């Protein structure tokens, strides 16, 4: 599986578990009294189910638009665009960058291949061109996703679009660094906004 597919799998896994509510009995089966190996098997099964129902469209410059069915049912889908990290310049744990339709706007997230500590906050330094910005990001769900604050989405809608790439440094116990190409970002965000469900 190449890096883009690994990134997509990580995103789909996050989207699936982020959408589940505690009242969902299947999710309780995965998150409750199972042994770690059984929990992983349960989560893998759900991830495969969501991947089978997701729709992926290739966008220019390596971006992908992913529509994932709402795991709670209903007509709406979770929509995101993603780009894999540059493997030649990145730590193996940095899978890529994704933007998703959130309840109040566009969310910006970094995708990890190996989880960080769930619920913890990490300093993230992102450099685009000559501009360097420090963020505090929160590890969501199982720790595979770092949610950046809204100010990152504002930069993605502006200054980042003039940069060929961003460099990322995550202040984890073992520092994680890397680079994500940004060519085509404006078109990817436009495609995302056109596909966000109406609220």
Q: What tokens were used for 137?
A: 């990001």
Q: What percentage of the chain has pLDDT greater than the value 70?
A: 67
The model carries a pTM of 0.76
What pairs with residue 106 in β-bridges? 101
* Structural domains of the chain sorted by starting position, each given as residue range(s) with its CATH number in brackets: 3-195 (2.60.40.1880)
DSSP state of 21: -
Rounded to the nearest 10°, the torsion over CA 111, 14, 70, 26 is 170
User: Which of 15-24, 66-75, 86-95, 126-135 shows the lowest mean pLDDT across its residues?
Assistant: 15-24
Cα–Cα distance, 168 to 116 (Å, whole number)? 16
Q: Which position has the token pair 């969310």?
A: 107
20 has a pLDDT exceeding 50:
no
**Ordered DSSP codes for 60-83:** GGG-EEEEEE-TT-SS-EEEEEEE
Q: What is the largest CA-CA distance in the chain?
A: 49
Evaluate whether 110 touches 170 at the Cβ level (below 8 Å): yes
Across the chain, what does the average pLDDT equal? 78
Rounded (5°) CA angle 183-124-164: 15
The more confidently predicted of residues 42 and 189 is 189
144: pLDDT confidence band, cut at 50, 70 and 90? confident
Question: In 85-147, where do the E strands start and end?
Answer: 94-101, 106-112, 121-128, 131-140, 145-147
Q: Which position has the token pair 């129902």?
A: 53
The more confidently predicted of residues 42 and 145 is 145
At 26 the pLDDT is: 40
pLDDT tens, residue by residue, 155-178: 999 999 999 999 999 998 889 999
DSSP state of 88: T
Compute the residue count for the chain: 199
DSSP state of 119: T
C-alpha distance across the termini of the chain, in Å: 35
At 16 the pLDDT is: 44
């Amino acid at each position: 599986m190449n890096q883009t597919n690994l990134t997509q799998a990580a995103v789909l896994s996050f989207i699936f578990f982020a959408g589940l509510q505690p009242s969902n009995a299947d999710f309780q089966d995965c998150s409750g009294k199972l042994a770690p190996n059984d929990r992983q098997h349960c989560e893998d099964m759900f991830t495969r189910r969501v991947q089978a129902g997701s729709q992926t469209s290739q966008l220019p410059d390596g971006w992908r638009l992913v529509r994932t069915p709402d795991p709670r049912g209903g007509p709406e889908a979770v929509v995101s665009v993603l780009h894999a990290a540059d493997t030649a310049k990145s730590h193996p744990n940095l899978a890529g960058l994704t933007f998703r339709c959130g309840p109040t706007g566009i969310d910006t997230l970094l995708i990890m291949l190996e989880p960080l500590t769930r619920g913890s906050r990490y300093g993230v330094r992102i450099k685009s061109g000559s501009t360097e910005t420090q963020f505090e990001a929160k590890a969501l769900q199982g720790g595979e996703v770092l949610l950046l604050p809204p100010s990152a989405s504002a930069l993605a809608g502006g200054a980042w679009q003039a940069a060929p790439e961003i460099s990322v440094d995550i202040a984890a116990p073992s520092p994680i660094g890397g680079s994500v190409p940004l060519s085509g970002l404006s078109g990817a965000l436009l495609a995302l906004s056109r596909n966000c469900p109406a609220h």
